[in-house]
């Protein structure tokens, strides 16, 4: 479990990373309600929602100072 650097909520990174089921084409498909993530400067950051991620993309430095993920 990690903290969303924008809103501070807990995000289950293992669930975001792990697919719930395999898609028709064979790729793991995750449940969107688990959250999302973003690769920033070589590291994945996890978010509770796309809204939080979008705010992070707009100004990553602001959120990394206070909400660096473990």
Q: Which residues bind other proteins (CB under 8 A)?
A: 16-19, 23-30, 32, 36-39, 42, 44, 53-54, 57
Give the residue with the Cβ less far from other proteins, 6 or 16: 16
- Cβ 65 to other proteins, closest distance in Å? 19
Give the residue with the Cβ less far from other proteins, 4 or 36: 36
Please spell the DSSP secondary structure of 50-67, one letter per residue.
Answer: HHHHHHHHH-HHHHHHHH
Residue 48: Cβ-neighbour burial (10 angstroms; 0-12, 13-18, 19+): buried
């Amino acid at each position: 479990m990690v903290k969303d650097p924008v809103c501070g909520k807990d995000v289950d990174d293992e669930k975001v990373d792990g697919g719930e089921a395999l898609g028709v084409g064979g790729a793991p498909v995750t449940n969107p309600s688990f959250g999302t993530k973003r690769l920033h400067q070589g590291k994945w950051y996890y978010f509770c929602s796309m809204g939080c991620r979008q705010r992070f993309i707009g100004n990553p430095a602001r959120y990394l100072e206070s909400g660096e993920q473990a």
